Amino acid sequence: MAKKAAAAANASNVTKSVKERDTRTMSRIVDLADSVASKALAGREPKVAIPLRTKSNTIWNRKRGMLEMGDAAAERELFNLNQAKQFMQTCLHANSIKELIEAEKTLSLRGMFYKGLHTVQGTKEKTFADQDESDGILEDLEVSLGSLREELHIFAKKKGTMIGNITIVDTGDEIDCRRMGSGGYAIPSIVEPDVIQFKKCDAKFVLHVEKDTVWGRFNEDKFWQKHNCILTEGGGQPSRGVRRLLQRLNNELGLPIYCLLDCDPWGHYIFSVIKQGSISLAFESNRLAIPDAKFIGIRSKDYTACDLSDDVKVEMNDTDIKRAKEIAAYPWFLGHKGWQAEIDLMLRNGFKMEVESLITKDISYVTEEYVPQRLKAKDWLV
């Protein structure tokens, strides 16, 4: 009875929190609409201020170890021929979000694209050319309203998987991530506390791997059981849902986050995004960035250290070389001796390597030797 009462109380608190959040979001949308309407009624040109999601408006906060958005903004004007369509799209999506909140329902990014899609009356012009155009407007609204995508009742496609020594509650359903078979728990795009709660966690750390193929090897070998951890994957560049879940596991449960990624500019960039945040989503760094995340491999030195064959080499092309140099110049990597040495060695080697290359040593070399040895020796980059 006590457990049921506690669960009911928790559900009541979550419901109350969601309603308060929706009230705040609705108030911001109404304020935006009132601002546009008041300008029009006063005979002035309607405008909407949109914070800039650009590199030039991104600040590296060295003390906090994360990217932050600056104060620069651009005005989106109705009577500017170059901006009129985006102005219309902004108002159109803002109204759709208002309708979602009123109906207490959610829509996917794809659903929002279709909800706002129609031909403008008297023309052959469609409101949105494609979903990318729609998604960009929704991100503009996030930063303009100061509300997260989840607060706008919008979700993205599920991407990422988790298994390990933790029990969670997902929209009221208790899920033991120790009993998820070969497929694992599919990480949703909305993982906020009102959706997912952590009930019981015995794990000592989180191992995040880049791809499902590597995750499958770790799961099949029961790495998470043997080493008492949580195992996640992000399908390459991790989605916001995966990054947010990792941040919550780190921030709320105090679990270290170790990242096993490819030895290439793209693996290095993925780690950068997990650790410091990204330029396009700098406004969300507080809830996404994990400043103390650690890069556990694969490393440039592993070709020699692990006695790998020439077969694992993937020659770097001009794009790879250019990207590696760009990453080396990031402020958070520029003054880091370890990362400078890592990227320099990769460039001098002239080749990339994938985590899967360790299979050439043995099918389970990565789970039984490579990662355990790195963890024991505390051999990682931060």
Distance CA 105, CA 120 (A): 26
Task: Give percent of the chain with pLDDT exceeding 90.
Answer: 82
User: Residue 299 pLDDT more than 50?
Assistant: yes
361-372 residue pLDDT tens: 999 999 999 999
**What pLDDT sits at residue 2?**
47
Q: How is 70-114 classified by DSSP, letter by letter?
A: -S-EEEEETT-TTTHHHHHHHHHHHHHHHHHHHHT--EEHHHHHH
Write the Ramachandran bin of 261: left for phi over 0, alpha for psi from -120 to 50, otherwise beta: beta
Q: How many CB atoms lie within 10 A of CB 370?
A: 22
pLDDT score of 335: 85
For residue 280, what pLDDT is reported? 82
For 70-122, what is each residue's pLDDT tens digit? 999 999 999 999 999 999 999 999 999 999 999 999 999 999 999 999 999 99
- The whole-angstrom separation of Cα 263 and Cα 266 is 8
Residue 114: active-site member: yes
Tokens, residue 378: 């505390």
What rounded mean pLDDT belongs to the chain?
Answer: 92
What tens digit of pLDDT does each residue of 339-382 get? 999 999 999 999 999 999 999 999 999 999 999 999 999 999 99
Amino acid at 64: R
Question: pLDDT-derived band of residue 17, with 50, 70 and 90 as boundaries?
Answer: low
Given this model, what pLDDT does residue 343 score?
Answer: 97
Report percent pLDDT > 70 for the chain.
96
* CA–CA–CA angle 86, 92, 98 (5° rounding): 135
pTM metric for this prediction: 0.87
Bridge-based pairing of strands 351-352 and 314-315 is antiparallel
What's the pLDDT at 14?
A: 53
Kindly list the structural domains of the chain, giving each domain's residue range(s) and its CATH number in brackets, ordered by start: 2-44+81-155 (1.10.10.10), 161-377 (3.40.1360.10)
What local confidence, expressed as pLDDT, does residue 18 receive?
74
Amino acid making up residue 294: K
What is the predicted pLDDT for the residue at 13? 52
pLDDT of residue 3: 47
* Alpha-helical regions (H) of the chain: 2-41, 84-103, 109-115, 131-145, 212-220, 223-226, 240-253, 265-276, 285-288, 302-305, 318-328, 331-334, 337-349, 365, 371-377
Average pLDDT over residues 216-239: 96
Catalytic residue among 114, 185, 303, 370: 114
- pLDDT value for 258: 98
Residue 54 has pLDDT above 60, yes or no: yes
Separation between Cα atoms, residue 329 and residue 340, nearest integer Å? 9
Task: Name the least confident of 131-135, 203-207, 296-300, 330-334.
Answer: 330-334
